[in-house]
A and B are shown apart, each in its own frame.
Chain A
Amino acid sequence: MLLIKNGRVIDPASRTDAQLDVLLEGGTIRDVAAGIVARDAAVFDATGLIVAPGFIDLHCHLREPGEEFKETIESGTRAAARGGFTAVCCMPNTKPVNDNAAVTRSIVERAAAVGSVRVWPIGAVTLGSKGEALAEIAAMRRAGIVAVSDDGRPVATAKLLRSAMEFCRELQLTVIDHCEDTSLSAGGVMREGPTSIRMGLHGIPACAESLAVARGVQIAELTGWKFHVAHLSCRESLDLVRRAKQKGVPVSCEVTPHHFTLTDEHIREYDTHFKMNPPLASREDRDALIEGLAEGTVDCIATDHAPHDAASKQVEFDKAPFGITGFETALPLALRELVHPGRISLMRMIELFTTGPARVLGPHVEQSRRIAKGCVADLTLFSTDRDWTFRAADSASKSKNTPFDGEKFRGGPAATIVGGEIAWKA
């Protein structure tokens, strides 16, 4: 038994924001009330902390199997716990690609053995993510995937996307697309614009993303099934999602912390820690994304945590792989860029990390992602006022490829509780 005492409970599902205690036992929430007395319980004093439902990261890369030198399920989930995440959805672009039940099972089993938090694998849409034949989606469903994606790449053709959406509708699996028109983006290493011109780097125009979003939105309308835009980064894409939602099309989208924090102008001196796909966009895009986060067009914040070893990133800008880490800086950046300046409320921020991603995955996940009797005992405790500095060297991830080394934050994760057990505390 674990009693979380004196915390400020903020639960989006019930719109609760009150000083309440939470009692956990056997992996579920036993009671939520003021002044709980529980003699046999271990007590965690949450004075001064926010108590929220456990955060979910809808998009990350754990690199296992195949690239364990960059990250493993063990190190990645440890970093996730330090970031306040109780569940992470790992993308299938491992080696081999997670396109069959055997690989899915191996990930699930490994996570059960050494993971600090829940690992919910996302299966590939096509075999090898090659964009030719559909992967063993149903078999993977049984083995434990929670969604499908060919992330790293877009779903190769509209025809394939349509087939996959219709198939997944029956399996009740959301299709997540890395929206990119590769003919426009080929050779590009950053956002096309005045900055790419000045730096002499090949640019990717914004419409490389929005063209693919337009495709996905129309196929969602055609098939009537859930289409989720991964790492949405520009205002054209946001407008398409907004209009689709207004029409009642089942479209959702996520935004990464680096996209609501940085722009292409932040790329310092060809530092590859600022290179990712989709690339950092313009100031207008960033401002539009923040508005979208506030007004509800954006459903959730997802990190796209993409660890790379130092040697891979210590190369010329155009040769470096795309990606930065993100678990441990997601919540601090959300507080610094969105909540503290008053762009969104604390309640809204918590939605973006909890009920938002849960809804994308499905009603069965959404129902349980709340602080109420009988729900799963996953909680994220965080402070909103502790001053601290993030140091990449202290990160639990094996890789330190982050642009936020040395950044100062006010507030951050304090304790992460998974299934009633403390997975990590500060």
Chain B
Amino acid sequence: MNPGFHDLLGIEPLTAPEIAFLLDQSQPFQEIQRHPLKKLATLRGKTVCLAFFENSTRTRISFTTAASRLGADTMNLQAESSSLKKGESLLDTVRTLDAMKPDCIVMRHASSGAPHFVARHLEIPVINAGDGTHEHPTQALLDALTIRDRRGSLENLRITMIGDILHSRVARSNIHLLGRFGAHFTLCGPPQWVPRELETLAPNVRRVFAIEEALKDADVVMVLRVQTERLHEPALSVEDYILLYQLTPERMKLAPPQAIVMHPGPMIRGLEIDPAVADGPQSCVLEQVTNGLAVRMALLFQVMSIAPPS
């Protein structure tokens, strides 16, 4: 086991034991969510800088709550902030924040590789909360924790992902993570969004363009967000998308009864997912959110409680 995590820039560099360690470490924090008093003093006096250069409500609130429940303070930068509008470079913005001496920075950015770039210039740990279309490591971790709790293990699962895989950082991180545990992936969606090169991301990846076939034998069905801002690219009409790829109760019957349904959120009910499925017994959507808090607390604890290298 490596001597402590410094940055978490992606799932791809992690080994299966390291991933299992982070998931195991999340369990005590799942338990703490059930205490009457949820606030710890573990990271008292530490400051977490939340630099969200791309808009996000859920992930930002999740990290903010995780930090506070550990007793840490937060520093918040939001996308609409005026300094970014005035054309300040990413490097200058991050250096300014760093000069206020936070203990770590949690970053979301629209450019793939932005956290890697920032990590090259800062001493403090950098946690990637989503970079462009590259990775969203904490999402994959909370998804894995949810799957492990519901299905008992992460080994050799059959994972079906539906939607705009090409532009999905959630898909990539999940493929890297579950691929470490022998998962077989079925990627399904409009061909323009499911290119051949996705098959090189992990062993055992196949592409299927008919949702009915994709759902057969699935252990986990991950529905991805339809990024409506991309629908105007010469791709697909909304009606066509719903007709071909919406996850409906009838289609879910094609999957085994113990299959679980997951969605990273935010969902557009009636577009990629039928409300009956979103609220049905197979749906894990709310557990994902609770587990997100536990995973982020475990991560912040790991990253900020070790002594910095001298």
Contacts and interface: CB of A to CB of B under 8 A. Distances in A.
Interface in B151-210: 166, 169, 172, 195, 197-198, 200-201
B55 interface: no
A201 B197 contact: no
B89 interface: yes
Contacts of B133: 200-201
A269 interface: yes
Contacts of A39: none
B274 to A, nearest CB: 29
B111 interface: yes
A197 interface: yes
Contacts of B131: 200
B112 A318 contact: yes
Given A194-B200, A316-B90, A200 B117 contact: no
Contact of A200 (B120, B172, B195, B200): B172
A194 B175 CA distance: 14
Nearest to A201: B112
A316 B114 CA distance: 5
B143 interface: no
Given A197-B195, A200-B134, A318 B200 contact: no
A197 B198 contact: yes
A314 interface: yes
Nearest to A311: B89
B225 interface: no
B200 A317 contact: no
A69 interface: no
A317 B112 contact: yes
Contacts of B172: 198, 200
Nearest to A197: B197
A199 B117 contact: no
B117 A315 contact: yes
B116 A200 contact: no
Nearest to A193: B197
Contact of B91 (A194, A196, A314, A317): A314
9 contacts: A196-B197, A200-B132, A200-B169, A201-B132, A269-B120, A270-B114, A315-B117, A316-B111, A317-B111
B135 interface: yes
Given A199-B134, A200-B169, A319 B112 contact: no
A197 B120 CA distance: 23
Nearest to B198: A197
Interface in A187-233: 192-194, 196-201
A388 to B, nearest CB: 27
A362 B234 CA distance: 45
A140 B245 CA distance: 59
For this complex, into which size category does the number of interface residues on chain B fall? 20 to 34
Nearest to B9: A269
Contact of A198 (B109, B111, B166, B200): B200
Nearest to A269: B116
Contacts of B275: none
Interface in A312-326: 314-319
A318 B110 CA distance: 10
Contact of B201 (A197, A269, A314, A316): A197
B113 interface: yes
Nearest to A317: B113
A49 to B, nearest CB: 40
Given A194-B197, A197-B198, A316-B114, 5 more contacts: A198-B172, A200-B172, A201-B113, A269-B116, A314-B89
Nearest to A202: B133
Contacts of B89: 311, 314-315
Interface in A269-313: 269-270, 311
The 10 closest A-B pairs by CB, nearest first: A270-B113, A200-B134, A316-B111, A200-B112, A200-B133, A194-B200, A197-B197, A317-B113, A316-B114, A194-B197
Contact of A316 (B12, B113, B169, B198): B113
Interface in B102-137: 109, 111-114, 116-117, 120, 131-135
Interface in B185-241: 195, 197-198, 200-201
Contacts of A315: 89-91, 117
A47 B42 CA distance: 71
Contacts of B111: 316-319
Given A200-B131, A315-B91, A269 B113 contact: yes
Interface string A100-138: 000000000000000000000000000000000000000
Interface string A325-341: 00000000000000000
Contacts of B112: 199-201, 270, 317-318
Given A270-B117, A316-B113, A317-B117, A200 B201 contact: no
Nearest to A319: B111
Contacts of B90: 315-316
Contacts of B132: 200-201, 318
B91 to A, nearest CB: 6
A200 B197 CA distance: 12
Given A314-B91, A315-B90, A316-B90, A199 B197 contact: no
Given A314-B91, A318-B132, A199 B201 contact: no
Task: Choose among A192, A193, A316, A319 the residue with the greatest number of B CB atoms under 10 Å from its CB.
Answer: A316
A196 B132 CA distance: 12
A269 to B, nearest CB: 5
Nearest to B120: A269
A342 to B, nearest CB: 32
A199 B197 CA distance: 12
A192 B112 CA distance: 15
A314 B121 CA distance: 10
Contacts of B200: 194, 197-198
A74 to B, nearest CB: 29
Nearest to A194: B200
A200 B172 CA distance: 9
Nearest to A314: B91
Task: Choose among B109, B111, B116, B169 the residue with the greatest number of A CB atoms under 10 Å from its CB.
Answer: B111
Given A193-B197, A194-B200, A318-B132, A199 B91 contact: no
A177 to B, nearest CB: 27
